[in-house]
Amino acid sequence: MIAIIDYGAGNLRSIRTALERVGATVAMAVEPGIVAAASAVVLPGVGAAGPTMRRLQETGLDDALRQVFHSGKPFLGICLGLQLLFQQHEEGDVPGLGLLAGSARRLPAGLKIPHMGWNQIEPWYSSWNEAGAAQSMFADIPPGSYVYFVHSFYVDPVDPTVIAARTTYGIPFCSAIASGQVWGTQFHPEKSGEVGLRLLRNFVRFCKS
C-alpha cells in the first residue's frame, strides 16, 4: 500500500487516479498511523511551502515522513513535495524536512513565472551511471521526453550525484532526483501523459522489488 500524504491543500485525486491506473493500492494519509502502515509514501506538491510545513507539523506528518525516510521505504516527492525534502525553502525562508542537503531556490528574475507547461527532461549522466535508482526511475523513458511543469522554485542539492535529470528554463535546473530509495520530480508525473504514467509505473515496480 502506498500512502499519499494529504495535508489539506489542493486536489490530490489526479495522483491517486494515476497510481491506481498503474496498479498501486493507495490510501490517503491524514495522520501518522497511515504513514507508518504503508510500504511506500508519496508526498505530492500543491500549495505554498510555509502553510504546507505548518500543516505537516500540526498533524505530526513531518516526523512520520522523517521516519519513512530513515526506514528505507520507497519515497516519492512531487513538485513542492520534492522541494520540502531539502533543508530550506526560499519562499518565506521556511525550513524543510531536512532529509537531503540543499535548498529550494526561486527561478531567476526575467522569466515568466511560474514555469508552466511542457518541457524536456534530460538524464544527468553522472547520476545515471552511478545510481541504480536513477536507472529504475527512467526505465522505458527516452531522454528528451516532455513532461508537465507548474513551479516557481527548483531544488539545488549540495550533492550533485543525487540529480537524476535536468531541464532548461532560462537556466538548467534539477528536475528529478534519485538517492537510494528516495525519488523526486519537479514536474508532475500525474499530469505528464504516458511518460508520467511510465515513471509512476516504475515507482510501483520499485516499491514491489
Per-residue confidence band for 194, with pLDDT thresholds at 50, 70 and 90:
very high
87-124 confidence digits (pLDDT tens) = 999 998 999 999 999 999 999 999 999 999 999 999 87
Per-residue confidence band for 129, with pLDDT thresholds at 50, 70 and 90:
very low
Per-residue confidence band for 10, with pLDDT thresholds at 50, 70 and 90:
low
Residues 6 or more apart whose Cβ sits within 8 Å of residue 68: 35, 38, 41, 75
26 contacts 40 by C-beta, under 8 angstroms: no
Length of the chain: 209
Q: Give residue 12's pLDDT.
A: 87
Residue 125 confidence (pLDDT) above 90: no
- Residue 71, burial from CB neighbour count under 10 angstroms (0-12, 13-18, 19+): exposed
Q: In whole angstroms, give the CA distance from residue 3 to residue 192.
A: 21
**CATH superfamily ID and name for 2-208:** Class I glutamine amidotransferase (GATase) domain (3.40.50.880)
- Marked catalytic residue, from 115, 151, 188, 207: 188
Question: Is 122 an annotated catalytic residue?
Answer: no
Residues 6 or more apart whose Cβ sits within 8 Å of residue 54: none
Residue 35 confidence (pLDDT) above 50: yes
Question: Is 174 an annotated catalytic residue?
Answer: no
Strand partners, 120: 146
pTM for the model stands at: 0.94
- Marked catalytic residue, from 89, 115, 190, 207: 190
- Marked catalytic residue, from 70, 79, 115, 194: 79
Question: Is 115 an annotated catalytic residue?
Answer: no
